[in-house]
Structure 1
Amino acid sequence: MSKRISILIVDDEESFVRSLSFALRTEGMDVTGVHSGEDAFLVVRKQQFDIILLDLRLPGADGMEVLASIQKLDISIPVIMISAHGDTRAAVHAVKNGAADYLSKPFELDELIHTIKTTLDQSQVALELDYHRRRDVVPTNGLIGECAAMSALRTTIDRVAQSSASRILLLGESGTGKALVARAIHSQSPRKDRAFVEVNCAALPEQLIESELFGAEKGSYTGAHQKRTGLVRLADGGTLFLDEIGELPLALQAKFLHFLENGDYRPVGAERSASADVRVITATNRDLAEQVRLGHFREDLFYRLNVITIDIPALRERGEDILSLVTHFADRQAQAEGCHPIQFDTETREILHAHQWRGNVRELKNLIERLTILYPGKTISADLLPGEFHHQDDVHQTNEINRSTSPPHPQLQDRLDVTERHIVQDALEQADGHKGRAAEILGISRHALKRRLQRLGLQ
């Protein structure tokens, strides 16, 4: 899915604008032409453009004034100045004041197209660098483990990464490393040199998700004091990873489905649509089919996402990989703390191997971080492990008793809902009924807690 480049030409020579517009449209670009600085300023405020071709010599407000006005609008549109013969010095001055490049008339169409594409590539790189600088994204070290399940997962990642699949759904329990798999797909794909943009749908306030994804015009809502560049645009040409897609509000699911269908979207408050060529990877630890049945997730969106699915194994299913990960995280945490890696005696390694790891790799990583901070460079014996590791036999026996006294073959989802209801109720009690504090205790956003309360019937 290739994106059409949208161009604004500002030049007072109508014949020049007409002929150049025809040539660029022949190259598959969308072109708008105006003949004065005032008209350029008005149209830029109303429409989305990828690039502007701006003549230096204009009636009324000249090119330099228009360039300054555009910059004051706080919109990141690269501008290529067009100068007549003898205006090179002024064009260079324009570049020093924020223009991306300049061309002198007359110029060849091939030269113009090359300059446009080079300028857009540089602009995209600048956006990506700014995004990564703000998010402090650290590249991953790859997937660790040699068990059969991980070998099969690597094979699947290789095949999917190189394919034309642009919509991929990752399934797995919380903490299994869905973000790591998404990064692996991106890094092995033809898109690896472009941006990998990650967003957690449950971590964003419901009223800001749309503007975060698609961007927003200045003044489009209360608090929008400047133009916001959406994550979809930042990911153009690369990969957009949406974790916890099941938390996407119903009101936004229709707009997201439209984007998945054809790559078109409209920033909040914009009068014109934009488009982006993005591989979208989504992830969830929920049963989306069940969410569809309950009316919490659109059926058409579910089927659009459920084309290429990848199941990520739980840590307890990965056998000796558990001990390989223990060593990996111990070495990495030791580097972070500036100490020798912690070691584990035989009994402790057996306990770690037998542990159920309900929190999967995330739980293991947090344990190693805790032990490294408390006992740097030491050999960890069983008595140094947290309390939950000393009661596994008791828990196993209790589970056996519960299974013998509970109704036969209870539905898994019912049991999960009961457990989740208890967890949410405990958090609300700790927070004295304050939903904001309860959400902080649970490590989720307030709107995510609201959706859980509704689904669990705890309103």
Structure 2
Amino acid sequence: MLVIDDEPGVLKALVFALEEEGFGVATAVDGAGGLDAACRGAPDIVLLDVNLPDMSGLDVLARLATDRPGLPVIMISATSDTRLAVKAVKAGAADYVTKPFELDELLYTIRGALQKARMASEIDFRRQASTAHDGVIGTSTQVRALAATISRIAASQAKRVLVLGESGTGKALVARAIHTASARSGGPFVEVNCASLPEQLIEAELFGAEKGSYTGATQRRVGLVALADGGTLFLDEIGELPLALQAKLLHFLEDGQYRPVGGTRGMTADVRVVAATNRDLASEASRGCFREDLYYRLNVLPIAVPALRERDDDVLVLADHFASRYAKSERCEPIRFSPDARACLTAYTWPGNVRELKNLIERLTILHPGSVIERSQLPTDLDSGEVRSAAIEQKLAVEEEKLLRDALARAQGHRGRTAELLGISRHALLRRLQRLGIDGEGRP
């Protein structure tokens, strides 16, 4: 924190009180010194007196708004002047307090300004990230139909969409395309992978948490639902969401209301929820692995994303697109493909879908920048035209089962530690044990 005030007594009292609250405090006694300190110290927030010996605090505020956009500044004045307060807020001040002030009141104002700045920063980051993607690319009949469906759903008022497809088909891309083409495009696009979050933190991540609501909650946490207000919340791998949290998500989907962890007051958010999965949720719901009522609530507008093997006409279009994209990032000429190599690309079944193709083009661009790629330079699997047969699927299942059993043995049957060893949530572990028919008995 930077405090800019020319009264020594005020400075001394503020430094003492704020440091007691855990803030690191720098000070300046005039406008020029304050601007220099703001440039050198990169503070998170500024307390700025309106009356300074060398320039007006409003002039300092204007300079800070130019030099450090987004930096929250709280104006301090010895007089209660409504017009001055309005002028300061219009000029970009986060808030305005009048001397003398109560410490609790000042701390409340400071924390509120920091929270707003943090939220604005996160939303801006996620909004920029939401535009950094490729469009739905391809000329096949399947992609044209997919694009038409995306346009219709984006233009609708529907708030619940379910995107289905194999891993690597571009479900996240479809979710972003829906957001970008909708009236919500000016709002945030917030993405969360339900399989990557620790089970005990998913609720706080989604709905937020009050300070002290759980071990380690040293400050109030803003949930992703709140960040997505007015925009789109993308829940990837929705099938991995723990059953206990599925009930709370269902409640939010019904009326847009939710309650942060440890909170006593309900909140609302206007959010379009796009969920995605590569699982058969209908089958999982019938087996009790996924809430049936949540499945039906999400399945109002399902979108099936075709696998790359179903859209052969797009393989070369995508290959050329990725070649151009990675050439720019590597600052080289795009790679090209010989006729034999192009025939090999179209003959392959792409079990990893678009993600596998994209990774291949990136690797080839790095290893052979600007070259013509011959068939001999392609991976062996592609050159042999290998397909994803039932035998391969069986082999993968055997390997997965072996990995799970080894991890269970290392954790002495403790499912929580097993999940940690594998880098997945406990819920995801239980689903895999059930799917592979492995005895799930053991310590929780």
Which of 139, 145, 149 lines up with 1:152 in the alignment? 145
Q: 1:313 Cα shift? A: 0.8
Q: 1:336 Cα shift? A: 1.3
Alignment of 1:277-288 (within 5 A): 277-288=270-281
Q: Is 1:140 equivalent to 2:133 in the alignment?
A: yes
Partner in structure 2 of residue 216 of structure 1: 209
TM-score if structure 2 supplies the norm length?
0.69
Cα pair 1:427 1:438 within 8 Å, conserved? no
Percent of aligned pairs sharing the same letter: 55
Query: CA–CA distance in 2 between the matches of 1:133 and 1:247?
Result: 26
Query: CA–CA distance in 1 between the matches of 2:90 and 2:299?
Result: 48
Query: CA–CA distance in 1 between the matches of 2:255 and 2:373?
Result: 54
Query: CA–CA distance in 1 between the matches of 2:318 and 2:92?
Result: 52
Cα pair 1:166 1:279 within 8 Å, conserved? yes
Unaligned runs of 5+ in 2: 1-72, 98-111
Cα deviation code 1:300-350 (max 9, x no counterpart) = 111101111111111111122100000011111111112211111111111
Alignment of 1:8-47 (within 5 A): none
Residue 452 of structure 1 aligns to which amino acid in structure 2?
R
Alignment of 1:43-192 (within 5 A): 86-89=81-84, 99-100=94-95, 127-133=119-125, 137=129, 139-192=132-185
Query: CA–CA distance in 2 between the matches of 1:433 and 1:250?
Result: 26
| Aligned-residue RMSD, C-alpha | 3.8
Cα pair 2:335 2:370 within 8 Å, conserved? yes
Cα pair 1:205 1:447 within 8 Å, conserved? no
> How many residue pairs align between the two structures?
349
Partner in structure 1 of residue 368 of structure 2: 375
Which of 220, 229, 234 lines up with 1:241 in the alignment? 234
Cα pair 2:85 2:96 within 8 Å, conserved? no
Residue 400 of structure 2 aligns to which amino acid in structure 1?
V
Q: 1:293 Cα shift? A: 1.4
Structure 1 residue matching 2:132: 3-state secondary structure = coil
Which of 330, 333, 356 lines up with 1:337 in the alignment? 330
Q: 1:232 Cα shift? A: 0.3
Residue 331 of structure 2 aligns to which amino acid in structure 1?
G
CA separation of 1:177 and 1:90: change in aligned 2, threshold 3 A: closer
CA separation of 1:438 and 1:232: change in aligned 2, threshold 3 A: same
TM-score if structure 1 supplies the norm length?
0.67
Q: 1:136 Cα shift? A: 7.3
Residue 291 of structure 1 aligns to which amino acid in structure 2?
E
Partner in structure 2 of residue 27 of structure 1: none
Residue 264 of structure 2 aligns to which amino acid in structure 1?
E
CA separation of 1:265 and 1:390: change in aligned 2, threshold 3 A: same
Q: 1:439 Cα shift? A: 6.8
Cα deviation code 1:86-134 (max 9, x no counterpart) = 45457778999974479xxxxxxxxxxxxxxxxx9xx989725424537
Structure 1 residue matching 2:312: 3-state secondary structure = coil
Query: CA–CA distance in 2 between the matches of 1:431 and 1:196?
Result: 36
Partner in structure 2 of residue 19 of structure 1: none
Q: 1:375 Cα shift? A: 1.4
Which of 329, 341, 346 lines up with 1:353 in the alignment? 346
Residue 187 of structure 1 aligns to which amino acid in structure 2?
T
Partner in structure 2 of residue 422 of structure 1: 398
Query: CA–CA distance in 1 between the matches of 2:212 and 2:245?
Result: 20
Cα pair 2:407 2:422 within 8 Å, conserved? no
Structure 2 residue matching 1:320: 3-state secondary structure = helix
